[in-house]
């Protein structure tokens, strides 16, 4: 299947110019939609599930950075009928300082206005490499994209090998990868608007019939369902009505890592990361028996797994 892309820029001429340049350097790329603002970009991404989104950083209303943060919170994997694994992001910008930051982190790429063939060719090479890595990072027994059969004896051998691998890493602290998407987007958002800096220091939570004030740094993890978010400390389990989507914007992304659409974990509380028999990454929390699942969209946070 061809790679599918979306272009978001409030200037029609810039959209047309980028589309024309992309046709030159990546003729097989399919442009499935164009957006005139950040809100449209989010809506079209949710509807079209592209592999790649080009986002102008500065757009009226919702900026490209804000749109990227919304896109990063869209349902993925088993929460979508087609198993969409999210998309790669490329920022369109006239401001080098934002572009260079994104480029050096290796999480997203950039195109400077107006899009020039040489730089766009480099961007395409990097994006293609990251898209290939997404396929390579698929769990060993994930047959969503490539159906496969396995004999009973082979299945038993594979299960034994998987159990041995899990046991081998069970007590090993995880190695963080390069800063994740949320960390980078938070930095860029603060550069664009210093008032967007994370400011949440205390959680006002319900514990039984009382309201408790919980210091953010004491929280081990947050897990959300449709109505409430569980706040877990070493000694207290509490509930709040604030969803993960809002917490992501208010918490320091360097400290609280999003590992699933419904889960944030304090990086200092991570004891180990293992794989289960299905190939899923599971985060063990210091002093707890909880195993927090890492969705495929966030699997890149941990190297060597």
Task: Give the max Cα distance, the chain.
Answer: 64
pLDDT attached to residue 176: 42
State the Cα–Cα distance between residues 300 and 134, nearest whole angstrom: 9
pLDDT confidence of residue 104: 64
Which residues, at least 6 apart from 261, have a Cβ–Cβ distance to it below 8 Å? 73, 75, 76, 79, 244, 295, 297
Strand locations in 19-129 (E): 30-35, 52-56, 88-93, 109-112
Q: Which CATH architecture has domain 169-301?
A: Beta Barrel (2.40)
Residues 6+ apart with CB under 8 A from 206: 212, 238, 239, 240
Q: Would you tell me how many other CB atoms lie within 10 Å of the CB of residue 183?
A: 20
Q: What is the mean pLDDT of residues 252-260?
A: 90
d(CA 204, CA 224): 16
How big is the chain by its Cα radius of gyration, in Å? 21
Mean pLDDT of the chain: 81
- pLDDT tens-digit map of 213-235: 999 999 999 999 878 999 999 99
Check residue 151 and give its pLDDT. 30
Mean pLDDT of 245-252: 89
Task: Give yes or no for residue 18 having a pLDDT over 70.
Answer: yes
At 205, phi and psi to the nearest 5?
A: -125, 155
Distances (CA, A) of 55 to 62, 181, 186, 211, 234: 11, 14, 16, 42, 41
> Hey, where are the domains in the chain?
4-136, 169-301
**What is the per-residue pLDDT for 172?**
45
Among residues 24, 44, 51, the alpha carbon closest in space to that of 128 is found at 51
- Cα–Cα distance for residue pair 25/34, rounded to 1 Å: 19
Confidence class for position 304, pLDDT limits 50, 70, 90: low
Residue 177: its pLDDT value, please? 41
Residue 271 burial by CB count (10 A; 0-12/13-18/19+): exposed, middle or buried?
Answer: middle
Q: List, in sequence order, every residue forming a beta bridge with 4; answer none if it has no partner.
A: 30
Helix (H, G, I), strand (E, B) or coil at 72: coil
Fold entry, domain 4-136: Rossmann fold (3.40.50)
What pLDDT, on the 0 to 100 scale, is given for residue 93? 85
pLDDT of residue 291: 94
Nearest to 87 by CA among 116, 127, 141: 127
- Run of H or E including 188: helix 181-192
Give the residue-averaged pLDDT of 59-80.
87
Q: Kindly report, residue by residue over 166-199, the tens digit of the pLDDT.
A: 333 344 444 444 447 777 777 777 777 777 677 8
Q: How many CB atoms lie within 10 A of CB 61?
A: 12
Kindly report, residue by residue over 129-171, the tens digit of the pLDDT: 888 877 765 555 554 443 232 233 333 233 333 333 333 334 4
Instruction: Compute the distance between CA of residue 45 and CA of residue 67 in angstroms, rounded to an integer.
Output: 10
Burial of 45 (0-12, 13-18, 19+ CB in 10 A): buried
Preceding peptide of 76 cis, ω within 30°: no
Q: Tell which wins on pLDDT, 99 or 22.
A: 22
């Amino acid at each position: 299947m061809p790679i599918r892309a979306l272009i978001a820029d409030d200037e029609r001429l810039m959209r047309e110019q980028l589309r024309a340049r992309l046709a030159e350097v990546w003729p097989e790329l399919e442009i499935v939609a164009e957006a005139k603002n950040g809100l449209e970009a989010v809506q079209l991404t949710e509807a079209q599930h592209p592999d790649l989104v080009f986002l102008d950083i500065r757009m009226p209303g919702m900026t490209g950075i804000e749109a990227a943060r919304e896109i990063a919170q869209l349902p993925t994997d088993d929460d979508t009928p087609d198993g969409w694994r999210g998309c790669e992001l490329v920022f369109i910008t006239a401001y080098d300082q934002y572009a260079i930051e994104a480029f050096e982190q290796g999480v997203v790429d950039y195109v400077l206005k107006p899009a020039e063939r040489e730089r766009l060719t480099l961007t395409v090479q990097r994006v293609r490499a990251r898209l290939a890595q997404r396929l390579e990072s698929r769990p060993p027994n994930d047959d969503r994209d490539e159906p496969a059969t396995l004999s009973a004896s082979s299945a038993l051998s594979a299960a034994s090998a998987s159990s041995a691998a899990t046991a081998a890493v069970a007590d090993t602290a995880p190695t963080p990868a390069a800063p994740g998407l949320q960390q980078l987007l938070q930095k860029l958002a603060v550069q664009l608007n210093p008032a967007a800096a994370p400011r949440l220091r205390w959680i006002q939570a319900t514990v039984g019939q009382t309201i408790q004030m919980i210091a953010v740094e004491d929280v081990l993890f947050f897990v959300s369902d449709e109505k409430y978010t569980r706040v877990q400390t070493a000694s207290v389990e509490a509930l709040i009505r604030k969803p993960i989507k809002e917490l992501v914007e208010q918490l320091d992304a360097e400290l609280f890592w999003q590992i699933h659409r419904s889960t944030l974990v304090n990086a200092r509380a991570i004891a180990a990361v293992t794989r289960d028999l299905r190939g899923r990454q599971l985060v063990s929390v210091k002093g707890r028996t909880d195993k927090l699942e890492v969705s495929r969209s966030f699997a890149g946070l941990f190297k060597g797994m």
